[in-house]
Amino acid sequence: MQKTDERIGRIEAALRDLSGHKRNCHLCPRQCHVDRERGETGYCGVGTIPIVSHSCIHFGEEPCLSGYYDYKENVKTGPSLSGSGTVFFAGCNLKCSFCQNYQISWHTHGSPLSCASLASVYLRLQERKALNINLVTPTHAILPILESLKKALEQGLHLPIVYNTGAYDSYETLVRLAGVIDIYLPDFKYMKKDTSRRFSKASDYPERAAEAIKEMYRQVGDLDLDDTGNAKKGLIVRHLILPGCSDESCAILEWLAAHISTRVCVSLMSQFQPCNGAPDRIGRSILQEEYDAVLAKAEELGFENVYFQPFPFRSEDHLIPDFHRDEPFYWEGKE
């Protein structure tokens, strides 16, 4: 991890370089060019003030980020009993048609927070023994996030920072985050333009995500764990297998092996459930043979670090939250 003074210096430099986006926003590949300072909002639906939907100690991430959770017994287990200090930001520059967090990505459910208040959220999560600060859907809110991180670092924040994104990120923005972000957690969603256009209205997603993930890997490299198995730094590439799209999932693995490394940590998720009026083409759960085909491809290509989910993913274990509740995830309040 970066020393505090050095990280603050990098944040200040990033804020200087990116300040023009407040008046002419092209932080992400949507290139909306809206003037947020005059109250305009682009595709993400959010202006200059970030909207936070929820913050919590979260156990639904990969074990190296959130420790271990026994869903059957509904208790925390494993070498670390602390979870990920997760902050969910409302709005999204992708708005996938099947998003399980549609209440916040599409409907921007949440409360606006000042940078000072957001810094306090990080510090409270640290006080609760969070393993990291996990910024969920940060792309469109990166300017206030940087400002709030600076304030929190000045007040003693020392946890690894996780950038949890759909990977529809601008290379030009990501370059400014070098030395600020410790762990990148992108979801490489699609390899085909037709699929990304159909489900996320972003036909350029494959090339933008590939470019972004290359830059993330350049900055942080392979996953680095501490003595208790918790992530300190590195890249984890997530991929949610979609119904009828296992060939595309395999193509993503082939790209990662060829252009990143077979040492990179890959998280292959079986948890897809139709949400938010998902199109008929993907209006079902994935099949056992679809998930097995993707796992087999990862083994064939020689990936050394793979997270996988149990199959079938039981409905009682499902991680779809309800952000209209005070505690969207059922494990909350059970610390």
| pTM of this structure | 0.93
Taking Cα atoms as reference points, which of 263, 261, 253 lies closest to residue 297? 253
The predicted pLDDT at position 53 comes to 95
- The answer to whether 98 and 199 are in contact (CB under 8 A) is yes
The structural domains of the chain, with segments of one domain joined by +, span 4-47+59-312
Could you say which architecture CATH assigns to the domain 4-47+59-312?
Alpha-Beta Barrel (3.20)
**3-class SS letters over 71-134:** CCCCEEECCCCCCEEEEEECCCCCCCCCCCCHHHHCCCCCEECCHHHHHHHHHHHHHCCCCCEE
Taking Cα atoms as reference points, which of 49, 118, 63, 56 lies closest to residue 86? 56
Dist. CA 69–CA 290, nearest whole Å? 26
The predicted pLDDT at position 326 comes to 80
The predicted pLDDT at position 1 comes to 54
The predicted pLDDT at position 204 comes to 98
Helix, coil or strand: residue 263 = coil
The predicted pLDDT at position 2 comes to 63
- The answer to whether 68 and 77 are in contact (CB under 8 A) is yes
The predicted pLDDT at position 71 comes to 46
From first to last of its 335 residues, the chain has per-residue pLDDT tens of: 568 999 999 999 999 999 999 999 999 999 999 999 999 999 999 999 999 999 999 988 999 999 865 544 445 555 456 899 999 999 999 999 998 888 899 898 999 999 999 999 999 999 999 999 999 999 999 999 999 999 999 999 999 999 999 999 999 999 999 999 999 999 999 999 999 999 999 999 999 999 999 999 999 999 999 999 999 999 999 999 999 999 999 999 999 999 999 999 999 999 888 877 777 788 888 999 999 999 999 999 999 999 998 776 554 445 678 888 888 776 565 54
Cα–Cα distance list, 1 to 19, 27, 248, 319 (Å): 25, 25, 35, 30
Tens digits of residue pLDDT in 221-249: 999 999 999 999 999 999 999 999 999 99
